[in-house]
Amino acid sequence: CTLTMTITPTVTQATCNGNVANNDAKITFNSTGGDKYGISLGSSYNGQPYSSANKLNLGAGALTGIVNPAVATQYTIRVFNGANACFIDTVVTLNPTNCIIPCEPKCIPFKLRKN
């Protein structure tokens, strides 16, 4: 593989609906030099081979609808060019979203009692 390939990833954490995280986290990326891609869970690629990988759409790819993780979770993006032996990998981390409803303006101040 003599081609120069690049991956420029963006990781978007899940949004919140009140104090509950939505399962809408996503990993998107732009790439140069590739024609197909795969994204797999973990710090090393264990996803689809070139033959069944996703086609890059105008140099971009994505994994959407990711469940909000309980802990920071790694994913590996692999961009192929023409064969299983011609690829580049990059590892990204999806952090959990902690949804907390802010107290203001509904909080009632409390006073410490002296016993």
**pLDDT one-digit tens code per residue, 49-75:** 999 999 999 899 999 999 999 999 999
- Predicted TM-score (pTM) of the model is 0.83
In this structure, are residues 86 and 3 in contact, taking their beta carbons and an 8 Å threshold?
A: yes
State the chain's mean pLDDT as an integer: 89
Looking at residue 87, its pLDDT comes to: 93
Cβ within 8 Å of residue 37, ≥6 positions away: 29, 31, 53, 54, 56, 61, 77, 78, 79, 80
pLDDT at 44 over 70: yes
